[in-house]
Amino acid sequence: MSQPFRKYQALQNDYLLFDALDAPVSFPPAQIVAMCHRRTGVGADGILIVGRAPGGADGGDVYTMDILNNDGSVAAMCGNGLRCVGKFLADAGHLAPGDRREVRTASGPRHVTVLGHAPDVSQVVAGLGRPRVLDDALTLNDLAFVRVDVGNPHIVHFLDPAAPRAYAPDWNRQLALSLGPELEHAFEGGVNVGFAVVTGPAELDLVVWERGAGFTQACGTGATAAVTAALHLGLVPRGPVRVRQTGGDVTVTLDADGAATLDGPAHFVFAGTLPD
């Protein structure tokens, strides 16, 4: 039977979202690749499948999010995808502005809150748990990286803002494109690779080569990993940090207990139906 979907994007991270609240939805890897292809399919960084879970401790509704990369592989966590799920729940009338809902993922429970809602765009805050720095002295390809767990694996390299090439147009993008495909496989199971430049007291520029998706316009867990690493190294203060990416800006906040939130816009793009 035909399968309806809704396309969402957050910082130009775009996803095909499938409603599995009342009936399960699944796709073989080859179909995922075909759907996500930007020339012969609908085009997307990945697939989101939203379902229901048993009620939470407060008696409120609990949801699930399954994430599939555009190469057909399974992803454990996705910050911008989670914010798109929040937008979808608000669009579908399941989440009122200001309310918080639990969303269960392969990385554990997370949460979403919609602060401002409109049909085309909503401001969505995603709670991403407590990121952990696993290694702050990692060297790969003669570059220093910080290894961070955000429910999925990341390594982050900080370019020296005093170096002339750090200010060259798209220098960190060039690094991501040239080194990302190799460094993605530096660890078993793959890793997301970020290149950041601290540009102010509480802001940084970032590009990310994502495992399973390649170079994307933005990465929510990548932004969280970069801020976690920068705070660990003393490069930014605790509190809200603006992260600028190709697809737009997002704010990452690590509270005193180390819990992270990701705050930014999420857009509804269009709805469609896959043919039989």
Supply the residues annotated as catalytic.
78, 219
Show Cβ contacts of residue 59 under 8 Å, excluding neighbours closer than 6 positions.
none
If DSSP states are collapsed to H, E and C, what string results for 103-125? EEECCEEEEEEEEEECCCEEEEE
Neighbours of 155 (CB within 10 A): 25
Within 61-199, residue ranges assigned H as helices are 79-91, 171-183
Q: Is 255 exposed, middle or buried (0-12, 13-18, 19+ CB in 10 A)?
A: exposed
Tokens of residue 129, six digits:
């748990």
Neighbours of 32 (CB within 10 A): 23
CB 45 within 8 A of CB 190: no
Residue recorded with tokens 């705070």: 231
Handedness of CA 179, 154, 241, 139 (dihedral sign): negative
CB 236 within 8 A of CB 253: no
Neighbours of 167 (CB within 10 A): 12
Direct distance between the N- and C-terminal alpha carbons of the chain, in angstroms, rounded to an integer:
5
The candidate with the shortest Cα–Cα distance to 136, out of 112, 154, 114, is 154
At residue 33, the 3 state secondary structure works out as helix
